[in-house]
A and B are shown apart, each in its own frame.
Chain A
Amino acid sequence: EAQVTQNPRYLITVTGKKLTVTCSQNMNHEYMSWYRQDPGLGLRQIYYSMNVEVTDKGDVPEGYKVSRKEKRNFPLILESPSPNQTSLYFCASSPFTGALNTEAFFGQGTRLTVV
């Protein structure tokens, strides 16, 4: 089954304790991205990757890092989490074909609480 898998689904952590949220896709997609979703706001892009070893900042990258060492995996790293990073996080993937109607697939989300 084609899917994007995030782990963990729920996470409570303390300020300053480094954490990683994993994302894996089994569709051989080139393009992967991370979003955060906060009440009253649309999903906002944190980082994206067009292919292995190619990453770039999205709209709200501060406080986050990513890596793309393999095509299927795109982990999101919070080196020193702060309470304002409490949010619902989504990973998404899509083929990078240049087609106008490229479909994007989302993971199930990771609800992060930083206390």
Chain B
Amino acid sequence: KNQVEQSPQSLIILEGKNCTLQCNYTVSPFSNLRWYKQDTGRGPVSLTIMTFSENTKSNGRYTATLDADTKQSSLHITASQLSDSASYICVVGGATNKLIFGTGTLLAVQP
């Protein structure tokens, strides 16, 4: 069964600190792995997309890693800001534009 699991479910950090979110997946066939940021009540917005040949990709303070052998990915946020408070969703692309979504990690950045 295709599954994407994320941890932790929720996380509280202080502004300026770093954090790392985890994603494990069992999806076949595998096309790509994406991280999305979703503000409360809004649509997901893409942060990074990685194919199986890429093992790291950055977008500003966001850095995603992918280990296709162990089927794990992480999203590292550096020097967090209050505006980083959101849900971060790991999404695996399967066959033919099919997307399998994780349930997300809810991040709260406190001053």
Task: List A residues at the B interface (Cβ < 8 Å).
Answer: 4, 31, 33, 35, 40-45, 48, 50, 88, 90, 92, 94, 96, 100-109, 111
**Pair B43/A104 contact, Cβ less than 8 Å:** no
CB of B37, distance to nearest CB on chain A (Å): 11
CB of B42, distance to nearest CB on chain A (Å): 6
Is B85 engaged at the interface, CB distance under 8 Å to the other chain?
no
A-B pairs, 9 with minimum CB distance: A42-B101, A106-B43, A43-B101, A100-B51, A101-B49, A42-B103, A31-B97, A100-B31, A106-B44
Give the chain B neighbours of A45 by CB distance below 8 A.
98-99
**Pair B41/A42 contact, Cβ less than 8 Å:** no
Across chains A and B, the number of contacting residue pairs, with CB separation under 8 Å, is 58
For the complex, count residues of B whose C-beta is within 8 A of A: 25
Contact flag A106-B45 (CB < 8 Å), given A31-B97, A42-B102, A94-B97: yes
Which of A50, A90, A100 is within 8 Å of B44, CB to CB?
A90
**Pair B43/A90 contact, Cβ less than 8 Å:** yes
**Pair B43/A109 contact, Cβ less than 8 Å:** yes
**Pair A107/B43 contact, Cβ less than 8 Å:** yes
How long is the Cα–Cα vector from A50 to B104 in the complex, in angstroms? Answer: 27
